[in-house]
Chains A and B, each alone.
Chain A
Amino acid sequence: MILNITFQGHSADYQLGLDHDASDGEIRRIAREVLRSGGIRGMHVPDLADDAFRNYVVDRLRAPGGEPRIYLRPKVPFGAGG
């Protein structure tokens, strides 16, 4: 399954070695470690903060071919009631 991460002006895919439904927390933890380790070209952030993805959400979609894709993206709600 593919994990797409958008961070600091870059958006890239990472091949996830998962065969189960990871929780949102697991996805955030995996993404954090991928960026820290430089697992995606152009997105190496060794000192990435633990809470870097605190305000991100996880979308679980399917590509046109049917393969599952996970997107880690910023949340975008607004509101006076927040």
Chain B
Amino acid sequence: MLREVCFLIGKSGEVLWADTSGCAASLADSRARWDAIWRARGELVEVAHSHPVGPAAFSAEDESTMAAIDSALGRPVRYSVVAPRATMVRFGGETFRLAPEPWWAALMRLSSGMARASLHKLHKQKEMRR
């Protein structure tokens, strides 16, 4: 099942919090997600979410949500969108493709129901970290 997933990423690249939707094209507004962002604000460096059916780009909904979060936190946060073939990042007003991808991108693809290849990639990355 394809579904959008959201990760909150900490200073060491760890996943601080995660949630998902039952939909491949949206993650509905969630007070729980905002509470998690606010609670983690001291260590939060990145808010990532998936677009399991693409595109590898930020949507209009993403743009207005990113502006709202930055306004509430009083600082710019790094954002990323993980699509089937690419991870795009927005930080400091710049949007760019991330390569190499962080370890959690494969985990996000897997939990979003994207290609089974994600599982193999995740295992490979774990092996390389050992």
Contacts and interface: CB of A to CB of B under 8 A. Distances in A.
B46 interface: no
A64 interface: no
B48 to A, nearest CB: 10
Interface stretch (A8-16, A17-25, A26-34): A8-16
A65 interface: no
Contact of A74 (B25, B49, B69): B69
A82 interface: yes
Interface in B54-87: 54-55, 59-62, 64-65, 67-69, 71-75
B12 interface: no
A77 B72 contact: no
A55 B73 CA distance: 13
B37 A76 contact: yes
Contacts of B29: 57, 75-77
Interface string A39-66: 0000000000000100111010000000
B4 A80 contact: yes
A81 B54 CA distance: 10
B62 A7 contact: no
Q: Which 6 A-B pairs have the closest CB atoms?
A: A82-B61, A9-B74, A79-B26, A74-B68, A55-B68, A81-B25
Interface of A: 6-11, 52, 55-57, 59, 71, 73-82
18 contacts: A6-B72, A8-B71, A9-B72, A56-B68, A59-B31, A71-B31, A73-B34, A74-B71, A74-B72, A75-B65, A75-B68, A77-B61, A78-B61, A78-B65, A79-B61, A82-B26, A82-B60, A82-B62
Given A9-B74, A78-B62, 5 more contacts: A9-B72, A56-B68, A57-B29, A75-B65, A80-B51
